[in-house]
Structure 1
Amino acid sequence: MVDDGSAVVVMYPDLYKGLGLKPEDLAPYSSPLMSFDGKLVVPNGMIRLPIQIGPETVEVNFIVVDMYSPYIAIVGRPWLHALEAVAFLLHQKVKFLSGDQEKEELIEFLKRNIDVFAWDACDAPGIDPSFICHHLNVNLSIIPKKQPPWRPSREHADVIREEVMKLKWAGAIKEVFYPEWLANTVVVKKKSGK
């Protein structure tokens, strides 16, 4: 199954056994995964295997889990990025760029239509926030921990204030108060140097 929301490539027991892999073939991997039903799953390990799609062969890290699934594997973003592919889940298709000419045509198409892209929340005022909002998958039974507040440097405070004003102006965020929970703002420099 192709899941473009998955940050890992998962291998289930049927494929693991079908390939004749043994426990000693696995490298350690101790980071737990979240299953579709919200339970934590501790992987058996990780193995790097080549995957061939048409003329392209890429090596992908599979996280091996020992649990039932109707699928033999779930390939996610790492696999899609390695193959420079795009998944169309509605149509159950995966599109690959087949060569340099197709890549050049795609780049030219994107350049001709650059005006349709919103590079910042301010470029898309009036868009319903529920359409563009990210929601955290949190366990509501765990009490959040309030972090001790710290003051950012003057330079960071100016950048934070400017970014918050842009997002508020676009209607992407609104002011809310969480007396039980506070996370300090972390400023990260963009590739553009901003």
Structure 2
Amino acid sequence: MIVGGTTTAGSSKKARKTYLIMVQNIQMTGSVPKMSRINNPSIGFSEEDAQRLHHPHDNALVVTIQAGDYNMHRVFVDNDSSADILYYPAFQQMRIERERLVPTNAPLIRFGGTRVFPLGVVTLAITIGDYPQQITRNVAFLVVDCSSAYNAIIGHPTLNLWKAVTSTYHLMIKFATDYGVGELRRDQVAACDCYVAMIEMDDHLQAMNIEERWPAIEPIERLEDVPLDESQPERTTKINTLADLTVRQELTIFLKENWDVFAWSHEDMPRIDPSVMVHRLNVSPSFPPVRQKKIIFA
């Protein structure tokens, strides 16, 4: 359970008190502000929605969403959270500039009364559902620098913005769109992995990666630039410096004598047989080309 943050009631004590008075007045009088009527389809769940799930279960609702240009996995949907949270390791992996963080003084209060002060607020375009039953909304995330097995938490501010209905039994979210009811299905395996990770987590564990990246391998030896054409000094190659001086001199002479086998641009590679390197699209000419929706793989 997480309370606090940039909620509808506001972060100041006066704003929260005013919001409480407004809620009490509506409860006592029964009058509500007029809102535009929207003909939304009815949302319901059936036993078919619970197929391909292990039952019985007590798993959390963990989903995958599209955040900007990234597919973000391990997103915990928490109906008891009054804030949408993005953990700082995920923020870093998305390569978002630190300048986009908007300062905030609204603390988060976790279970047990522990206070956590966010680094700031960042707004991201979140897309859920499958085309055409999908919606895209801007979500203001509180960026928090602490350990978690999740990359982000979706709380009831965004669930209300989506007008979404969640089912912990079906591990599914349904929401209304202009083209019917959209669905955001669960990842039960990820939910189990996150539970195990949270149990075994120590204080130094960071949020799990959005996508795996190979670490950059540093060279184990220093390389030396060798100019191959004195008239064009930018045309160089590299040799290692660990070899004997005589060997390096002989290698340099050999490379300069055979400089014509090097290429620095397409113009340096004339008369290449097209069968060596040609890209063709194996499509029927009777079908016109169609640009499809971009798909981002993890």
| TM-score, scaled relative to structure 1 | 0.49
Greater helix share, 1 or 2? Answer: 1
**Larger C-alpha radius of gyration, 1 or 2?**
2
| The structure with more strand, counted as a fraction of residues | 2
